[in-house]
Structure 1
Amino acid sequence: MSILSLTALQHTFTAGLRQRSAEAALYPCLVGSAEQVSERLAIYRGNVLANLESAMRNTYPICAALVGDEFFAGLTRAYWQAHPSQSGDLGEFGEQLAAFLETFTPAQDLPYLADIARLEWAQHLAYRAADHTPLDLTQLASLAPDSLTALRARFQPACQLLAPTYNIYPIWEAHQPDYTGDWAIDWQAPAEPLIIYRENWVVRIAPLDRPSFVFLQTWQHHTLGDALAQATAAASINGLTFDLNDTLIKWVSLEVITHITT
């Protein structure tokens, strides 16, 4: 039996699990004939793949439904080969699936699949995000009017904004348990921006008009004055209107905006 350092053995064992062509390097390290070691590794490899596929299905149920069981199993295997898990937490496996799908040849007939994966990963992160404390409304009342344009906002940890390339919100909506609408979905229609946030531990996904998306996206990194200017410009370009008061009331009441500073 060959003796390797622990680190070398771990790397060799991991490579042998991921690719059968690499398992021969393990034969001298393990008890039994090459055939016996290969059979044991096959069992272990199957268990690992089953666990990874289960984790991926939990994170990407709509992707799995869109491509079918056999395709999704193959996708999981291919993704694992390209992006082996870097964490003991299976909830972190699959982070790069959207980018992987963009160049995964068998998935090119479903160009919107990467956007769906991006949305499902955002939903997954929102569920796992830290809890938040609602905004103290007395804080708003105490602000001087001339300081409003300099306000900066902090959003709840679960909040994410997404601008998909394809019209994926109807696809996501159609795969919800209570959906009773039309299944004839035009995924090539103009895509709506989306907001993902959490309300009482329930992850919400909602479409946004362009001015509201631009406002929230800008305010995440800049001042209220900057966000209002960008939203007003977006409203003008898209032939829409933007109401600052209604927007603030909505996202403060939904606890998306959780802290305001000057």
Structure 2
Amino acid sequence: MTTVSELGTFQDAFAAALAERTSAPIAAWLPSPEVGETGLAVYRNTIAKGCVDALAANFPTVAGLVGAEWFEAAAALFARQHPPASAALAAYGEAFPDWLARFPPAGDLPYLPAVAGLDRLWTTALFAEEAEALTAEAFALAPEALAGARVTLHPSLAFVWFDNGLPGLWLGAREPEPDGLEWVEDPQGVLIVRPADAVACRLLDAAGHAFLAAARSGASLGEAITAAALADPDADLAALFAALIADGVFIDLIPGAPS
């Protein structure tokens, strides 16, 4: 009868055999080395295919921009160098953006690692902790009280600022039927959040990014609004705040000293 300890020993040896691409770690359980190598090849191919499919699902914008053949070859090489740490591949590919930055064939595509990074943020938002977003009613306070309050941001929220138009390119490429993708030089930000069942993404202007960065650092709402106004003196601050509430980025309102 196989004990739990023996089963664990075999599982560890089997994982080592797959990672090291040799049947030596499981030789004690094999009738012959040839049988081991043949069987391991089947498992390796199955795992490799699963990794490539998972990367294609987790980095669809990258795959769409470079084409299936290029992506599958790169993904297969990445999977050999970075085997999955667990059987669950839904969030596989944490190291893929940094790997692309060092991947010589991607040298002519300098935007690709950043695109992969945005794809990764989307996947991270998808699997982030659940939290109920505040509605506009939660902010129905006297102006002084509202200005002194602080907010807790949604755990799925990500926002990034770029010195170019990469966010617009990324959002356009994620459309079901991308058409007329354009690269613009103007700085842009992007907001990614999953307040309910689906991940939502949109462009974020300088004032919105400054507001969220201040709020995340612990600033009061009054201080965050001031940061937004400094980033863009022409911004409609009331509309900005209303849009963020509609996005579902706030999950808690913490009273503070009036400011």
Same fold, TM-score > 0.5, yes or no: yes
Summarize the alignment of residues 41-120 of structure 1 with structure 2, pairs less than 5 Å apart: 41-120=40-119
One-letter code aligned to 2:198 = V
Summarize the alignment of residues 153-164 of structure 1 with structure 2, pairs less than 5 Å apart: 153-164=151-162
Q: C-alpha distance in 1, partners of 2:163/2:79?
A: 26
Paired residue secondary structure (1:163): strand
One-letter code aligned to 1:234 = A
RMSD: 2.6
Q: C-alpha distance in 1, partners of 2:15/2:103?
A: 23
One-letter code aligned to 1:204 = A
Matched, 1:225 2:213: no
One-letter code aligned to 2:212 = L
Aligned to 1:241: 234
Matched, 1:13 2:14: yes
Aligned to 1:126: 125
Paired residue secondary structure (1:13): helix
Residue-by-residue CA offset, 1:62-100 (whole Å, 9 max, x unaligned): 212222333323322332344332233211211221122
Paired residue secondary structure (1:207): strand
Aligned to 1:186: 183
CA contact (8 A) 2:52 2:79 kept: no
Residue-by-residue CA offset, 1:220-253 (whole Å, 9 max, x unaligned): 2222233223222222xxxx52232211211113
CA contact (8 A) 1:129 1:158 kept: yes
- Number of matched residues? 249
Aligned to 2:206: 210
Q: C-alpha distance in 1, partners of 2:45/2:175?
A: 31
Q: C-alpha distance in 1, partners of 2:137/2:201?
A: 28
- Name stretches of at least 5 consecutive residues in structure 1 with no aligned partner: none
Residue-by-residue CA offset, 1:129-152 (whole Å, 9 max, x unaligned): 3443242544322x3433333211
Q: C-alpha distance in 2, partners of 1:71/1:246?
A: 43
CA contact (8 A) 2:139 2:146 kept: no
Residue-by-residue CA offset, 1:86-117 (whole Å, 9 max, x unaligned): 23321121122112211122222211111111
Deviation of the 1:166 alpha carbon = 5.2
Give the TM-score normalised by structure 2.
Answer: 0.83
One-letter code aligned to 2:149 = L
Give the TM-score normalised by structure 1.
Answer: 0.82
Matched, 1:148 2:146: yes
Matched, 1:255 2:248: yes
CA contact (8 A) 2:150 2:221 kept: yes
One-letter code aligned to 2:206 = R
Summarize the alignment of residues 28-47 of structure 1 with structure 2, pairs less than 5 Å apart: 28-47=27-46
CA contact (8 A) 1:115 1:166 kept: no
Deviation of the 1:11 alpha carbon = 4.5
One-letter code aligned to 2:224 = A
Q: C-alpha distance in 2, partners of 1:50/1:144?
A: 58
One-letter code aligned to 1:250 = A
Q: C-alpha distance in 1, partners of 2:163/2:98?
A: 13
Paired residue secondary structure (1:76): helix
Deviation of the 1:9 alpha carbon = 4.8
One-letter code aligned to 2:250 = I
Q: C-alpha distance in 2, partners of 1:62/1:138?
A: 37
